[in-house]
Structure 1
Amino acid sequence: MTTRNLTCATTAGLGRAVRALAREHALDPEVRGRLVLSAAEAAGAALRAGGQVGLEWAYDPDDGLLTVVLRTPGDMGPAVTELPMAPEVVTEDEVVWRLPAGPYVAGAAEDAPGEEALAAEELRAVVAAADALTAEHRRLKDELEETNSGVLALYVQLDERDKQLRTAHGQTLRELEDALRPPLIEADGLELAVHYEPAGTDAPTGGDLYDWFVLPDGTVHITIVDALGHGVTSTRSALNVTHAVRTLALEGHRLQSIVARTDEILHPFDRAVMATVLLARIHPATGELWLANGSHPPALLLRRDGTARYLEARGRGIGFPLPGSETPLTERLAPGDLLLLYTDGLTESRRDPIEGESRLIEAAHKHLQSPIEEVPGAIAEDMHTVILHPDDTLALAVRLTGQ
């Protein structure tokens, strides 16, 4: 590898020297033009101050690289990182370029056109490169616009498809909820209504379920279940509980024995089930009420005259230690009285069950005279103005009409 060097005192002389070495090593005119401009800018401050700069270059045939070194006595002027031809190495007094080039061609510089012709050739090369970039930019812009148009059309299609899927999904969820709801029963003297709201919109059901049916003697049986967890898994446990309770009730088992017996039945099949249970039986003709509880929030009785009382019945839920209920709590409803059965999602949305029970009495007072089908949903809406602890919510209202 042969190294050559020279000293330049003017910008024009430096430009001629760079063009000469570029011609000798067959650099592309665009690269040559960038190298001439870069050398002039890097050495400009030193040359204007009357100094001299050194130019050294060498060609390595092994890697086909031409190394050009510009040495200046002090300040290089403009930031060399912003030169038209980015250098590979920069020190306090050196700028180094390494460029792909051909081997030295003797006489190439002597046979070259004049400086003006070379500068024009370099300018044409730079303009051609700029035109090529402009054309490529225009092509990419057109492709981008076409792609964006296609993406927009695809987005519209996907949005429409998403709407269709949400509609179908919502229909499926409504059908699933309807399948889990027992049909509305008819019992002369009683009005019943229910409101259910899952904790999450992605899960149509949860562990809060209810069941109601009329026993052979005309008594209305109501089951409220709150199984541990959320989603379909807890729904399965709650369904197992309601089905077991219905079977035992229709077989004539005493109300106070059903919770414990349900635990015995389910334990071999679902050892993980844990659920609170509230059982209510109401005789429409007499207004007699019996309640059996398994670790569930108490029912709320709101008399027609506005007095309110929580009906505390003792017992332990399914899957709890020593499950079962004690002697049923008995009460007698009068025409116009409202009985509210619910799960803890109604009263614990603000993480304070005591405060929730107080607010529930206020909400029940507010809607005491409303049509029964509006009562559960309206109460739930009042209770859920602020939700700090989202949970499945079930509210079931019963009113004795006396007819």
Structure 2
Amino acid sequence: MKPQMTTHHSLAGLRSTLRRLAHRAGLPVELRYRLALSATRVAAGELAAGRPVLLEAVPPQPDGRAEGRGEGRLTVRLHLPHAPRRPSLDGLPLPAERLPGPAAVWRLPAPALEEPPPGDDPPGLVELLEEELSAAVSRMDALAEDHQRLKHELAETNSGVLALYVQLEERDEQLRQAHGRILRQLEDALRPPPVRVPGVEMAVHYEPAEKHAPTGGDLYDWFVLPDGTVHITVVDALGHGLTSTRSALNVTHAVRTLALEGHPVESIVARTDEVLATFDHDLMATVQLVRIDPASGELVLANGSHPPALLVREDGETSLLEVRGRGIGFPLPGSERLLRDRLGPGDLLVLYTDGLTESRRDPREGEQRLARVARRHRHRPIEEIPAAIAEEMHTVILHPDDTVALTVRRVPG
């Protein structure tokens, strides 16, 4: 096979020459039809305009000399001598190198074949096309088989992923249930159930500012003193989350200890600050203390910077039980005085933290709304009242905060 230069005026002639040339050079069938497609695409514009193109082929040589291009390489150059501009070589089935001027070159690995003996007729164009078509069909069949295999593998993978997803969902549900049990146990430990004593009935509702963080700085405590009176503590420690919970627990535990030791109720707020200041320097909390005699209904209230309690009489009359004082961690902590009143049969006492009345950033407006809401719900079963009050107070929340709503009602007994 010798170097050759041919001139072409039609795409059919160019394709035929390229196919025979590639066959004689021993190119694989796929490279052969890629070369024919690429050269046709480069030359199509020129031939359609009636301008000829030149095809130059430098074949590999049997003695290892390929006329400057090295052994085992077929070099095909396509010249467009009359083209007004360089041809586009982007996106060709077989990438080409650009030469100076309007031309393209392909350098293809090929065996160095001897010249065919005289009388050995090369295959015809139809045979070459049939060979390329057969190779393309085989390639398509192989791709279809690979596609089917990949679909099967993907189906198996999807089945495995689905099974894993189901397992993860089941595991996630188990973790959610375990988390819920732990949170309920934690809430039970932090929030004691209502005290059961003749003469009064009590209920409480707690609502965290964030549902995923069910603990906060709003806590309460209630217990019966040795003399039979009921003691109630409501605390609102600064902040949210576990840190504020710890601070509020410190306050409730200190108050309980001091109350059971017999300290006067008017001194407990200041004494609590004194006790806790030695190991919790950052603690700041409002606190409200209430003592109720179930037999007589006598009520005593001390306050340290906490919102006022609400008293709803059986006939619907309401009043705020306000006592000046400063909370734990405040300057000069303590209740300035004790407020004394009396619960009659059917009277309802509402104790709460500021998350109940300050959801709209106006405490006074919140206190007025609370009075109207509590008046409407005062005759409901006691266990329903705190949640009903909180739900109606929180129809609009501009400033979410932890909320405690605690109710005590005097009953004949």
TM-score using structure 1 length: 0.88
Greater shift, 91-100 or 301-310, is seen at: 91-100
Partner of 1:102: 110
In structure 1, the residue matched to 2:389 is 379
Task: Return the offset for 1:212.
Answer: 0.5
Indicate how the Cα distance of structure 1 residues 52 and 357 shifts in structure 2: closer, same or farther if over 3 A, else same.
farther
SS at the partner of 2:280? coil
Q: Is the 8 A contact 2:377 2:385 kept in 1?
A: yes
Whole-Å separation in 2 of the counterparts to 1:25 and 1:355: 97
1:306 aligns with 2:322: no
Going from structure 1 to structure 2, the CA distance change for 1:62 and 1:309 (only over 3 Å counts) comes to farther
The one of 374, 382, 405 equivalent to 1:395 is 405
Deviations 1:310-344 (A, max 9, x none): 22221222222332221122222222111111112
> How many angstroms does 1:352 deviate by?
3.8
Q: Distance in 2 between matches of 1:145 and 1:200?
A: 42
Change (3 A) 1:55 1:352: farther
Unaligned runs of 5+ in 2: 59-65
Structure 1 position 33 matched with structure 2 position 33:
yes
Query: Against the structure 1 CA distance between its residues 220 and 231, is the aligned structure 2 distance closer, same or farther, given a 3 Å change threshold?
Result: same
Counterpart in the other structure of 2:145? 135
> Are the aligned partners of 1:87 and 1:96 in contact in 2 as well (CA < 8 Å)?
no
2:62 alignment counterpart: none
What do residues 343-390 of structure 1 show as CA deviations (whole Å, max 9, x unaligned)? 122223334434332332232122110010110111112222333333
Task: Tell me the secondary structure at the aligned position of residue 310 of structure 1.
Answer: strand
* CA spacing shift, 1:129–1:331, aligned 2, 3 Å: same
CA, structure 1 residues 184+136, in 2 after alignment: closer, same or farther (shift >3 Å)? same
For residues 70 and 259 of structure 2, what CA distance do their matches in structure 1 show?
Answer: 96
SS of the residue 1:229 aligns to: strand
Query: What is the aligned counterpart of 2:354 among 344, 351, 354?
Result: 344
Amino acid at match of 2:202: L
Q: Which residue, 182, 204, 215 being the options, matches 1:194?
A: 204
Higher deviation after alignment, 216-225 or 16-25 = 16-25
Question: Matched residue of 1:172: which SS?
Answer: helix
CA contact (8 A) 1:196 1:394 kept: yes
State the partner residue of 1:16.
16
* Residue aligning to 2:191: 181
Cα distance 1:61–1:239, how it changes in 2: closer, same or farther (>3 A)?
farther
* Kept after mapping to 1: 8 A contact 2:192/2:221: yes
Q: Does 1:215 align with 2:225?
A: yes
Q: Deviations over 1:224-244 (max 9, x none)?
A: 111222222222111111000
Contiguous gaps of at least 5 residues in structure 1: none
Aligned residues: 400
SS at 1:137 equivalent: helix
Taking structure 1 as reference, are residues 70 and 324 closer, same or farther at Cα in structure 2, changes over 3 Å only? farther
Matched, 1:327 2:327: no
The answer on whether the counterparts of 1:44 and 1:76 sit within 8 Å (CA) in structure 2 is no
Amino acid at match of 1:11: L
* Residue among 354, 360, 364 paired with 2:370: 360
The alpha carbon displacement at 1:179 in A equals 1.6
Shift of 1:159: 1.5
Q: How do residues 80-159 of structure 1 correspond to structure 2 at under 5 angstroms? A: 81=90, 83=92, 85=93, 87=95, 94=102, 96=104, 101-102=109-110, 105=113, 107=115, 112-159=122-169
d(CA) in 1 for partners of 2:336, 2:179: 44
User: Given that residues 30 and 123 in structure 1 are in contact (C-alpha distance below 8 angstroms), is that contact kept between their aligned partners in structure 2?
Assistant: no
Q: Which shows bigger deviation, 102-111 or 187-196?
A: 102-111
Q: How many angstroms apart in 1 are the aligned matches of 2:314 and 2:76?
A: 102
One-letter code aligned to 2:176: R
Aligned to 2:268: 258
Alignment partner of 2:172 out of 158, 162, 175: 162
Which amino acid is the alignment partner of residue 34 of structure 1?
R
Question: Which secondary structure state, in structure 1, belongs to the residue aligned with residue 231 of structure 2?
Answer: strand
Question: Could you tell me whether the CA contact under 8 Å between 2:191 and 2:220 is conserved in 1?
Answer: yes
Partner SS, residue 45 of structure 1: helix
- Residues 101 and 236 of structure 1, relative CA distance in 2, 3 Å threshold: same
Q: Which amino acid aligns with 2:275?
A: I
- Return the letter of the residue paired with 2:395: T
CA distances 1:279-319 after superposition (whole Å, capped 9, x unpaired): 11112222222222222222111122222222222122222
Measure the CA separation in 1 of the matches of 2:166 and 2:125. 60
Once the two structures are overlaid, the 10-residue window that deviates more, 333-342 or 281-290, is: 281-290
Counterpart of 1:271 in structure 2 is 281
Is 1:50 aligned with 2:50? yes
Contact 1:42 1:76 in 2 (8 A): no
Q: Percent identity between the aligned chains?
A: 61
CA 1:304–1:68 in 2, change beyond 3 Å: closer, same or farther?
farther
Task: Look up the equivalent residue of 1:317 and give its one-letter code.
Answer: G
Q: CA deviation at 1:53?
A: 2.4
Q: Check whether the contact 1:291–1:328 (CA below 8 A) recurs between aligned residues.
A: yes
CA distance in 2, matches of 1:340, 1:125: 89
Which deviates further from its counterpart, 188-197 or 115-124? 115-124
Return 181-190 or 145-154, whichever deviates more.
181-190
The whole-number CA distance in structure 2 between the counterparts of 1:351 and 1:156 is 46
Q: Judge conservation of contact 1:61–1:103 (CA < 8 Å) in 2.
A: no
Residues in 1 aligned to 2:264 and 2:292: alpha-carbon distance in whole angstroms: 14
Structure with the greater alpha carbon radius of gyration:
2
Contact 1:241 1:262 (8 Å CA) reproduced: yes
Q: Which residue number corresponds to residue 61 of structure 2? A: none
Match for 1:245 among 252, 255, 261?
Answer: 255
Stretch deviating more after TM superposition (322-331 or 348-357): 348-357
Q: 1:66, 1:321 → 2: CA distance?
A: 96
Q: Distance in 2 between matches of 1:181 and 1:260?
A: 24
Q: Distance in 1 between matches of 2:410 and 2:369?
A: 23
State the SS of the aligned residue for 1:196: strand
